[in-house]
Chain A
Amino acid sequence: MEHHEILITRLFNDYLAGAGTAILDAVGLHAHNAARPWTNWMTMQILVAILIMLFFAVLKSRLSMDRPGKIQMTLEAIYRFILSESEGNVPHHAHKYAAFFGSLFIFILVSNLIGIIPGLESPTMFPYVPVGLAVAAFLYYNIVGVQAQGLFKYLKHLAGPIPMLAPLMVPIEIISNLARPLSLSIRLYANMYAGEQVTLLFLALTYFIMPSMFMGLHVFVAFLQAYVFMLLTMLYVGGAVAHEDH
């Protein structure tokens, strides 16, 4: 992994190094470089979260029922899209889970796209961030499944439909459940990392047209990967809360 610091990280390390070390000590981790604990992806994640929150805070003050502006209509369309996708995948009470799906989608989308701006990096380009998101999604669909069905009934799903096959099904189901956060994280990380590396590679070989085509592909892939992460989480939640009697 490269250790080149971008401007934001340099500012964080110059002025907030103590806070960084304190946060890492609170969870029992050690920084790679003890004098400069903040890494690019940590500061970029914070920046993305602050940008999203600022954007929605400003938007909230301008909400209007009678004369909605363009941004409000765009975001309402996005909200309708997320809600309709949730209802397609989670059969009952989709609105309870739509907030998590929407947060995932918007956070991953902004994280992916912010790397295009020169001077900033996508936090999803580093393996830690997609793994964190995948672990969050994994915990979410398991907890939601236990909430919806009770612990014993939820674990009974691992045995499969036929009780005789349970000794065969349980290991398979456990492994496939564990493979879900693995594949979610690697898919997101690989797409973002490979997109950036390919653009840099072509930038090293030639000038404008080829690298910009790959950067365009990277933007398209950024949208697609955010959507697919959200879609797969919806599928897992839908599978976790599904009642067999329907």
Chain B
Amino acid sequence: MNLKTAFLAFALMLIASPVFAADGTNWVAITSGFSMAIASGLCALGQGQAVAGAAEGIGRNPAAAGAIRGVLILGLVLIESLALYALVIIFAKVV
């Protein structure tokens, strides 16, 4: 997720045609790059903690692996969706 969105942010900054402003720098594009990078970084930190907690839980109690895996998947998807909200704004406003 991290590498993918880093690639995407970089590619967007190169490819995205500006909606705006023949004069001056395209602040919308620059800001969107930074916002996506920040969103992805924090999302990755959160997901790393979720996976760490899940792995430790399975290590301590392998019999509960099914339930822990369910909670892990749900948590990862919910955290991921927060980073995607930033991506949606970028696609709506920049590209």
| Contact between chains at B4 and A214 (CB < 8 Å) | yes
Contact among B11, B77, B88 with A205 in the assembled complex (CB-CB below 8 Å): B11
Hey, which chain A residues are within 8 Å of B91, CB to CB? Answer: 193-194, 197
| Contact between chains at B11 and A189 (CB < 8 Å) | no
Q: Count contacts on A: residues with CB < 8 A to the other chain.
A: 20
Size range of the chain B interface in the assembly? 10 to 19
Contact with B along A202-218 (1 / 0, CB 8 A): 00110000000010010
| Contact between chains at A231 and B74 (CB < 8 Å) | yes
Asked if B37 is an interface residue, CB under 8 A from chain A, the answer is no
A77 CB, nearest partner CB in chain B, Å: 16
Hey, which chain A residues are within 8 Å of B95, CB to CB? Answer: 197
| Contact between chains at B73 and A191 (CB < 8 Å) | no
| Contact between chains at A183 and B81 (CB < 8 Å) | yes
| Contact between chains at A191 and B84 (CB < 8 Å) | yes
Contact among A193, A214, A225 with B77 in the assembled complex (CB-CB below 8 Å): A225
Q: How far is the CA of A177 from the CA of B91 in the complex (A)?
A: 27
B50 CB, nearest partner CB in chain A, Å: 14
| Contact between chains at B84 and A187 (CB < 8 Å) | yes
5 A-B pairs with least C-beta separation: A190-B84, A187-B81, A190-B88, A228-B77, A194-B87
Listed in ascending order, the chain B residues whose CB lies under 8 Å from chain A are: 4, 8, 11-12, 15, 73-74, 77-78, 80-81, 84-85, 87-88, 91, 95
Could you show 11 A-B contacts with beta carbons less than 8 Å apart? A187-B77, A190-B87, A190-B88, A191-B80, A191-B81, A193-B88, A194-B88, A197-B95, A198-B8, A201-B11, A225-B77
Listed in ascending order, the chain A residues whose CB lies under 8 Å from chain B are: 183, 186-187, 189-191, 193-194, 197-198, 201, 204-205, 214, 217, 224-225, 227-228, 231
